[in-house]
Amino acid sequence: MASTSLLQSTSSTFSGIKLPCRTSVFLRAGFSSVTVKASAGAAVFVDKAEADNVNRLKTSYLEKIVPLLKEEFSYSNILEVPKIDKIVVNCGIGEASQNAKGLDAAMNELALITGQRPVKTKAKKSIAGFKVREGMTLGIAVTLRGNVMYAFLDRLINLALPRTRDFQGVNPNSFDGNGNYSIGFREQSVFPEIKPEIVGKARGMDVCITTTAKTDKEAFRLLTLMGMPFRESSGPSTLIRKKKLKSHHFDSKSRGRR
């Protein structure tokens, strides 16, 4: 698990809202504060006095966010209030699957970021076109729950996302329709645990936040109150998917042309 020193925070500008972040991390990058063109809504940020508390985000959720959600969505039972169930972090290793040292390096880096040892994900079947054999290691993954999950989410929101290059806020339309949200990173170096001068090849990763919310609107509100910096938008929009044409549609057109 990451040390509590990573969670020590001061304040920087975030669309008129005080965003807790670690000043020393940004000083090493060559700037003292970060201005993000994104709207976090009525986010409930933790106090500076709680910076040394590892479970500060969990405490803020139980004491501040739960009553707000219960009042806003008129839940009759406190157990109906949505919460974060788990966070899955996965990383494709690519060419490192053929190199034992590269695989170990990727696992160590993901372990530093998440605070938990990852597991190997293997192919379920062989695909000759991609040179994939059954049982071949294709990536690594970590499933976070409990206090480790809240600590990772805290560092993700307050440290990793503000350090992303040309950051304009995360996409509010990345929900899957069932209250789960996914974020992709091109480089793991946005996390302060990873030193770019030591890491050889840059690796990306995907973060999937699974919630108990029944709708995307509830999940969007939950993550907004936790401080997730969404882009300026009214919220997740409903995508209209085009109907896929089947083979007999093309057959009828070709017969008509003949």
Could you list the pLDDT tens digit for every one of the 258 residues in the chain?
A: 444 444 443 333 333 333 344 434 333 444 333 333 344 445 555 555 555 566 788 999 999 999 999 999 999 999 999 999 999 999 888 766 667 777 888 888 889 889 889 998 888 888 888 777 887 788 899 999 999 999 999 999 988 888 888 888 898 999 998 999 999 988 888 888 887 666 567 778 899 999 999 999 999 999 999 999 998 865 665 554 555 565 665 555 555 555
Of 196, 193, 210, 21, the residue nearest 116 (C-alpha): 193
Q: What is the per-residue pLDDT for 221?
A: 94
The pair of structure tokens assigned to 39 is 């709207």
| Strand ranges (E), the chain | 10-14, 17-21, 84-92, 119-122, 137-144, 181-185, 205-211
Can you tell me the distance from the alpha carbon of 5 to that of 9, in angstroms, rounded to the nearest whole number?
A: 9
Q: What is the per-residue pLDDT for 33?
A: 37
Q: Angle, nearest 10°, between helix axes 146-155 and 100-114?
A: 90
Provide the residue count of the chain: 258
Q: What is the per-residue pLDDT for 188?
A: 84
What's the predicted TM-score (pTM) here?
0.68
| Strand ranges (E), 84-231 | 84-92, 119-122, 137-144, 181-185, 205-211
